[in-house]
Structure 1
């Protein structure tokens, strides 16, 4: 992982200087009953540009459909973009069940789909649990502009520590609010309580949280942005910052560091877990994905994990289990985070009577991370002149938080459903862009009755370059 952080100030400055590098994301979800569309931003928050529920061509979501269901290519439901914007603008990720558009039918007999285009705008994202204070803060000389704020609950993972299950079950409880903007816009810092007394109670009995997306800007930046026709404040911010600093830029930064001989600026992460039964090692990347470099299960010195351990159990410092790095790489490479229970290494003992530990070094490699819910189309895209290299792809389900909006609970229970998807690499490697359906027809069905998703990690590279392992 590169040892630098792009501050909000720099992101804002980069926004207008990189107007020609606007990155627009597209999500397409076929209109089968219950299918879920997922929008997400690795950095910043979502700004929905367009949304179509209907049909604009005879090719999209056409697999297995009779021509009569594809013939009307001028079909669109009014108000679709407003529905998607209300749900998704200002959030890092959001999900929409296709069923929400079944209130009317813009073209009876035509097989429809939901197509959304959006950008990821740089923003600071803040969550404050109910009963806490949300503190918005900018650097000296800067002021706050709130892009979006919601009070309620949208998932079962935020603000749940030691809360009873009945208080976190309702996840369709989220109410947009302008009160944060009214209180904080134009101030250098601002504190607001995440409480029912301020925002009302959108779902009685549910433990809620306040979610805020905001930026910091200076008066000088505002003047510059206006001069460059970026319109920071006029137009209620809708025309502002419609780009994202894509992973391509991070990759370019990585390459420039390497070609400049600045490998010392690349950060190596290290995790050490002592070998007590049940201990768990966690690797994680704030940005990019894990690339495991080395892994030792055994003992290489007499100091690591030695507290309270008799010297006789530390004596062998030439102890290592063969194949450890392969086990860790298989479990962690290409993921944002992973967890390994020390028990997986108990299958053999490289040095009986020695107290062992797991010592892993890894880097965080900048990548594109894409998730397409079952029934959607995954679209991999690189800049002109670059081609795709798929780093990792899986089809199935590994959690109960992804692609879940309005799905029945029984379709989300199996989280041990992982099937490698080499078809993505076979179809997309070496291409500038690639579309592949997240469906059982393409990948088979690794867990019948479970609603699945396709997860892809890929990079964009210039032809002839060698990707990292």
Structure 2
């Protein structure tokens, strides 16, 4: 290499890493020259302005006459690798991007700025795969945007059709991930439905990792006016801790007698407030009993405001309880454990820091995406995390629309049918009735009323089929009663096999 060539190479290197005031930093990583790291100063984050792998000029990374070749998937891959991070590694390899121009030396060009505002992480996973997204310890996931479908032609393989996405997917992904330290995403039609048949789809998610807000705290004193707990519009109360009694000498006036509380108060307060936009706290012995006669007591509540209604079930050791959702909805597990974290729940106990390892996973397997489940708070199920201490299951969950596409069966009056699920799965009813809701099915007789349903039919269908591998049904007035005399009726059910 002569001196002129050396000078040109040095100039090209500085241009490659130059600060372009109008555009940001420009970083070049040449093929066959190893990985290259892009970094921002401490406290700043990479914001990608443009990126590609290929060649758009004749001189970068050595002279080559062929230009204008780009790997179509490269902008998205590079952005997902670097966006919102303090640093990232660029790997200019055909194995990552494909080879857009065989025999030509290519390069990655990344134009970016460093911003003090943390940018969302971006992840994409292709149909029928799965991916886990995580936040560091002490942080939780906040979904910024999410969808299942296809919005460009190149992600997850080339496809000319774009701009299709499942309308339910943002909500399903948000419910699955928001507020958790990690979650798993599975881009499948069985979860989201198929927004564009025959097209390869993917999940694309943008999210941030945030510190959880501290819980609000409200105190309502005995012999003083009631206190209202309220969340902003569109948010719901999630009770973290609550009791009626006295645990210090100074709240609601000085009293040297403290450390007393009503053992039933956490459950009463939680049932009054949990999942509501507001609730009223009345600090009265007539509600909770008097845990310390002659002492001024108070209600102390710590709570958070969440964007979804969270239901709660507490099942004390050896006392099973059922968690359930209304018709057409299923359980989405939020928090769950077997052990003890509060000395006031399920009668007083000083030990309050034990949880059975793996209890969340067992409860999740039992309840997740089922319309109902029975919680069995027993050492034989979860093991004993703290011997001699009374334990309980504390279970928080959402009720969400079922992610499955339900099966539908119609049985004409005076006919019978066996309804069954594949081996290893059970029937769970989404909807069902005996009567008529349209004029086209089972129309081989008189129809004077096309909007009638037997009031008890859904409950009887649940008794006959829910939780079973198969059931035999007969469409008959004898079984369900006659909701519309003189009209030929049918039995219609929608169900999932889970």
What TM-score bracket applies, with the shorter chain setting the length? under 0.3
| Richer in helix (by share) | 1
**TM-score, normalised with respect to structure 2:** 0.26
TM-score normalised over the length of structure 1: 0.27
Q: Which structure is larger by alpha-carbon Rg, 1 or 2?
A: 2
Task: Identify the structure with bigger relative contact order (alpha carbons < 8 Å, sequence gap 6+).
Answer: 1
